[in-house]
Amino acid sequence: MIVLSGTIGAGKTSLTTMLAEHLGSDAFYESVDDNPILPLFYENPKKYAFLLQNYFLNKRMDNIKDAQGSKLNVIDRSIFEDLLLFQLNADLERATQTEVQIYGDLLNNMMEQVDFSDDAIVKTPDLLIYIHVSFDTMLARIQKRGRDFEQIDHDPSLYDYYKTLNERYIAWFEGYDRSPKLSIDGDKYDFVNDPEAAKKVLSLIDEKVDELGLRD
């Protein structure tokens, strides 16, 4: 599997679609627009943070299961970055440290013990692609896609949340060691709006895919 990672508004969904089409593989997406918990979380984070995290965990395990069969299938968010998000919510008192510990134990147990079939299940990606964007770009993308519950105008406290999230993603990617990884500069390469930038990004990924022998 090829798995994407990055902050809100980094362009994960767009690049997932482009990359799957480019590689002739299947794409698997995070549940957002049909997620019944997400709007509730933005309205009352303390009440719904733990429930939301477990909802995502369940959906990500489904994606991992469904993506089996090809090293080139693309998932638009990594299961490994969810603990980063939940830890931030706890640090901002939107969840408790006890809930973080329970969630982390549950995640580790599921990744180590759950089998979906008699065959070996690949639970870590063959390649993780991190899309890094600046804080300003992140805010502009969030505003442009227009989900009311994500807007700072709707909730001014989201400004600090988004800023800290962006900073923590940088440290998270630097420490990520579960698989080969590749960083894409989302400010330098606006692959969503610039066809030439999209070609360059796909070329960079092709080079990494070939280096890892994922087409074999």
Neighbours of 8 (CB within 10 A): 21
| Residue closest to 124 by CA, chosen among 178, 177, 75, 82 | 178
Question: Does 8 show up as a binding residue in the annotation?
Answer: yes
Residue with tokens 């063959």: 126
Neighbours of 58 (CB within 10 A): 11
76, 153, 187, 194: which one is catalytic?
76
Question: Does 144 show up as a binding residue in the annotation?
Answer: yes
Question: Does 11 show up as a binding residue in the annotation?
Answer: yes
Residue 118 designated active-site: no
| Residue closest to 14 by CA, chosen among 204, 216, 194 | 194
Question: Does 105 show up as a binding residue in the annotation?
Answer: no
Question: Does 9 show up as a binding residue in the annotation?
Answer: yes
Question: Does 168 show up as a binding residue in the annotation?
Answer: no
Q: Which residues are CB-neighbours of 140 under 8 A, at least 6 positions away?
A: 9
Neighbours of 98 (CB within 10 A): 10
Question: Does 95 show up as a binding residue in the annotation?
Answer: no
Q: How far apart are CA 49 and CA 92, in angstroms?
A: 11
Helices and strands of the chain, counted as H and E runs: 8, 5
Question: Does 60 show up as a binding residue in the annotation?
Answer: no
Q: How far apart are CA 174 and CA 177, in angstroms?
A: 8
Strand order, beta sheet including 127-132: 27-28, 74-75, 2-5, 127-132, 181-185
Question: Does 53 show up as a binding residue in the annotation?
Answer: yes
Question: Does 42 show up as a binding residue in the annotation?
Answer: yes
Question: Does 14 show up as a binding residue in the annotation?
Answer: yes
Question: Does 167 show up as a binding residue in the annotation?
Answer: no
Binding positions: 6-14, 30, 42, 53, 77, 82, 141-145, 150
Name the binding residues for ATP: 6-14, 141-145
Q: Which residues are annotated as a binding site for substrate?
A: 30, 42, 53, 77, 82, 150
Residues annotated as part of the active site = 76
